[in-house]
Amino acid sequence: MFSSLLVDCGNALVMTLIAAKHRQIDFRQGFLLAVFALVWIVGGIVLGKAFIPGNQDFFKGSAGIITIIIGISFVLKGVKGKITGDNPGTVKEDSRPDALNKTDDGGRRHFLIYVGVALMAFHIGFFGIGGGMGYAISLMLFLSYPILKATGTAMLMTFCSTLFAAGGMFLQIPDTAFPDSDAQLLISMMVGLSMIGTAVGAKIAYSLTERQINFLIGGVVIFAGLLATIQKWLLQFI
């Protein structure tokens, strides 16, 4: 879990810097939600440490299906953008988050964003993996952020969340549990290569329209979900 959090934290840092460069982060909202998430991360860490070791079979099999569903939702969003003929590469004046938050249901939507962030923050602490995708979906669904703004803000939140969660787990790891120098080098290389891959992926994403980004994210997420599902079934025969 600790290694996974380091990878997610490194990737989130890269994406945060890139998104900031392109002015695709709502820093005020992102930091506010990140601070709110910290309490739920602590709760997830405490409960996960007590519950997961003796109940690992309980969590097998569902992650792949959930991932595929999320991927399909992005593909459908991309199809919808194509049908309506909108120009996904631009954000209309009346579709800015600040404007949309002033609608009649703004209060309810503002409440729901906190529910979504709480669930994802708990997920980060409980499972030890980043919740950037969940944060981004919550921002798009409840605050109507465009995909790039939602992703950038979500990466800021993910960096704060995973850094905090990794620090909390680090303090709970006994000295005898730290891997040898070769394993530490391997983890460092893994984090570094992942960050490089994230930077390359971000460069590609920022050259696409929003509709194309939806298709790209949807395809990658569906592929990852299929791999996880296939792996789960193959392990049953090993």
Q: In this predicted model, which residue has the larger pLDDT, 157 or 87?
A: 157
Reference 157, options 123, 130, 180; nearest CA is 130
- Name the pLDDT band for 107 (thresholds 50, 70, 90): low
The C-alpha atoms of residue 20 and residue 155 are separated, in whole angstroms, by 10
Residue pair 145/26 in contact (Cβ under 8 Å)? The answer is yes
The C-alpha atoms of residue 77 and residue 174 are separated, in whole angstroms, by 46
pLDDT at 234 over 80: no
pTM assigned to the model: 0.73
Residues 6+ apart with CB under 8 A from 209: 87, 88, 89
Span 110-123, pLDDT tens digits? 788 999 899 888 87
What is the arithmetic mean of pLDDT over 34-51?
83
Which pLDDT does position 101 carry in this prediction? 45
What is the arithmetic mean of pLDDT over 205-212?
86
3 by Cβ neighbours in 10 Å (0-12 / 13-18 / 19+) ranks as middle
Q: What share of the chain is helix, strand, coil (3-state, %, to 5)?
A: 80, 0, 20
Residue pair 143/61 in contact (Cβ under 8 Å)? The answer is no
How big is the chain, counted in residues?
A: 238
**HSE of 15, CA atoms in CB hemisphere, 13 A:** 30
What is the arithmetic mean of pLDDT over 105-109?
65
pLDDT at 52 over 70: no
pLDDT at 151 over 50: yes
Which pLDDT does position 175 carry in this prediction? 58
In the chain, % of residues over pLDDT 70: 70
